[in-house]
A and B are shown apart, each in its own frame.
Chain A
Amino acid sequence: DGGITQSPKYLFRKEGQNVTLSCEQNLNHDAMYWYRQDPGQGLRLIYYSQIVNDFQKGDIAEGYSVSREKKESFPLTVTSAQKNPTAFYLCAVGREGEQYFGPGTRLTVT
Chain B
Amino acid sequence: DAKTTQPTSMDCAEGRAANLPCNHSTISGNEYVYWYRQIHSQGPQYIIHGLKNNETNEMASLIITEDRKSSTLILPHATLRDTAVYYCIVRGAASNTGKLIFGQGTTLQVKP
Q: Chain B residue with minimal CB distance to A4? A: B43
A33–B43 touching, CB < 8 Å: no
Interface residues of B in 51-97 (CB under 8 A from A): 87, 89, 91, 93-95, 97
B32–A97 touching, CB < 8 Å: yes
A99–B42 touching, CB < 8 Å: no
- Residues 65-102 of A, flagged 1 when their CB comes within 8 A of B and 0 if not, give 00000000000000000000000101010111111111
Which applies to chain B's interface (DSSP): helix, strand, loop or mixed?
A: loop
B98–A90 touching, CB < 8 Å: no
A97–B34 touching, CB < 8 Å: yes
Does A18 sit within 8 A of B, measured CB to CB? no
B91–A97 touching, CB < 8 Å: yes
Report the separation of the CA atoms of residues A50 and B104 in the bound assembly, to the nearest whole angstrom. Answer: 27
Given A92-B43, A99-B46: A31 touches B105 (CB 8 Å cut-off): no
Q: Bin the interface of chain A by size.
A: 20 to 34
Report the separation of the CA atoms of residues A31 and B99 in the bound assembly, to the nearest whole angstrom. Answer: 11
* Seed contacts A42-B105, A97-B89; 15 additional CB < 8 Å A-B pairs: A1-B42, A45-B97, A45-B100, A48-B97, A48-B99, A94-B46, A94-B98, A96-B91, A97-B32, A97-B91, A98-B34, A98-B46, A99-B98, A104-B41, A104-B42
| A residues in contact (CB < 8 Å) with B | 1, 31, 33, 42-43, 45, 48, 50, 56, 58-59, 88, 90, 92, 94-104, 106
